[in-house]
Amino acid sequence: MLRGMKRVLLCVGGGISAYKACEVARLLVKQGAQVRCALTAAAQRFVAPLTFQALSGRPVATDLWDTSQDLAAGHIALADWAELVVVAPATADLLARLRAGLADDVVTATLIAIEPSRWLLAPAMNEKMWASPAVAENVQVLRSRGARFLGPAVGEMAERSHAGPGRMVEAAEIAAAVATWPAPAVAETSPAAQFSTSPAAQPAPAPHDAAPGPRPRDLEDVLVLVTAGPTREALDPVRFLSNPSTGRMGFAVAAAARDRGARVTLIAGPTELAPPAGIQIVRIVSAEDLAQAVDAHVSAARVLVMTAAVADQRPKVRAAQKAKKQDGEETLTLVRTQDILASVSARAVRPLLVGFAAETENVEANAREKLMRKRLDFIVANDVSAAGAGFASETNRVLVLDPAGGRVELSGSKRTVADGLWDQIAPKLS
Ligand code: CTP
DSSP string, 347-412: SSS--EEEEEEEESSSHHHHHHHHHHHTT-SEEEEEETTSTTSSTT-SEEEEEEE-TTS-EEEEEE
DSSP per-residue string spanning 197-263: S-GGGSPPPPGGG---S----TTTT-EEEEEESB--EEEETTEEE-----SHHHHHHHHHHHHTT-E
CB 116 within 8 A of CB 87: no
Q: What is the pLDDT of residue 73?
A: 54
Q: What is the pLDDT of residue 214?
A: 57
Determine the distance separating the centroid of ligand 1 and the alpha carbon of 219, expressed in angstroms: 26
Determine the atom of ligand 1 nearest the C-alpha atom of 379: 15
Terminus-to-terminus CA distance in the chain, angstroms? 46
Q: What is the pLDDT of residue 194?
A: 28
376 in contact with ligand 1, CB cutoff 6 A: no
366 part of the active site: no
Domains 7-188 and 228-314+334-429 equal at CATH topology level: yes
Q: Which of 313, 344, 362, 370 to mutate to test the pocket of ligand 1 (most atoms within 8 A of CB)?
A: 370
Q: What is the pLDDT of residue 182?
A: 61
Determine the atom of ligand 1 nearest the C-alpha atom of 341: 7
Q: What is the pLDDT of residue 66?
A: 74
**Angle, vertex CA 90, rays to CA 42 and CA 164, nearest 5:** 110
- Torsion angle defined by CA atoms of residues 245, 249, 253 and 256, in that order, rounded to the nearest 10 degrees: 140
Burial code (b: 16+ CB inside 10 Å, e: under 16) for 50-61 equals ebbeebbeeebb
Q: What is the pLDDT of residue 390?
A: 67
Domain residue ranges of the chain, discontinuous segments joined by +: 7-188, 228-314+334-429
Q: What is the pLDDT of residue 398?
A: 93
Determine the distance separating the centroid of ligand 1 and the alpha carbon of 310, expressed in angstroms: 6
Q: Whose CA is nearest to atom 29 of ligand 1?
A: 312
312 in contact with ligand 1, CB cutoff 6 A: yes
Q: What is the pLDDT of residue 134?
A: 92
Kindly tell me the burial class for residue 70, based on how many C-beta atoms sit within 10 Å of its own C-beta (0-12, 13-18, 19 or more).
exposed
Of the residues 243, 362, 382, 396, which is catalytic? 243
Integer angstrom CA distances of residue 255 from 92, 198, 211, 216, 231: 27, 18, 9, 14, 21
Architecture of domain 228-314+334-429: 3-Layer(aba) Sandwich (3.40)
357 in contact with ligand 1, CB cutoff 6 A: yes
Side chain identity, residue 400 = V
The CATH number of the structural domain formed by 7-188 is 3.40.50.1950
Q: What is the pLDDT of residue 196?
A: 29
Tens of each residue's pLDDT in the chain, 430 residues: 445 558 999 999 999 999 999 999 999 999 999 999 999 999 999 999 999 999 999 999 999 887 666 554 578 889 999 999 999 999 999 999 999 999 999 999 999 999 999 999 999 999 889 888 899 889 888 988 888 888 787 666 666 666 667 888 888 878 878 887 764 322 222 332 222 223 223 333 445 555 445 568 899 989 999 999 999 999 999 999 999 999 999 999 999 999 999 999 999 999 988 878 888 888 999 999 999 999 999 998 999 999 999 999 999 999 999 999 899 999 999 999 999 999 999 988 899 999 999 999 999 999 999 999 999 999 999 888 876 666 667 778 899 999 999 999 999 889 999 999 999 999 999 7
